């Protein structure tokens, strides 16, 4: 169970990274080779956590298996990029949105 929002989002980004790695390996069977696949995140603390290989006191309670994302960012398999909260496309599927925001996200 996550103890903070940062830890929770870190775990979610890690699961997304695992899916990206799986897709990259599947595409290799068809001859498509991808380099750094971008993963978008609106939490700068999570982005910094994935890029910093040093274990801090605030991250020591996170299970080792959740640091999967950090390893793959260092290897260059994926890249974490910042996206503003109002531009998060996954909000289309996860939140009730006002009509104007819904229309803006649909046009992106």
Domain boundaries, the chain: 5-107
Three-state SS annotation for 75-102 = HCCEEEEECCHHHCCCHHHHCCCCHHHH
% residues pLDDT > 90 (the chain): 6
In the block, which residue shows the tokens 């069977």? 29
pLDDT at position 8 is 84
What count of residues does the chain have? 108
54-101 pLDDT per residue, tens? 666 566 667 767 778 888 888 888 899 998 877 777 777 777 888 888
- Band (22; pLDDT cuts 50, 70, 90): very high
């Amino acid at each position: 169970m996550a103890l903070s929002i940062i830890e929770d989002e870190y775990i979610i980004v890690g699961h997304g990274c695992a899916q990206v790695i799986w897709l990259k390996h599947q595409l290799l069977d068809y001859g498509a080779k991808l380099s750094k696949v971008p993963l978008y995140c609106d939490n700068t603390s999570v982005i910094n956590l994935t890029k910093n290989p040093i274990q801090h006191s605030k991250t020591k309670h996170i299970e080792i298996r959740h640091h999967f994302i950090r390893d793959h960012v260092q290897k260059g398999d994926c890249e974490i990029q910042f996206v503003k909260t109002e531009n998060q496309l996954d909000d289309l599927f996860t939140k009730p949105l006002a009509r104007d925001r819904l229309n803006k996200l649909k046009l992106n």
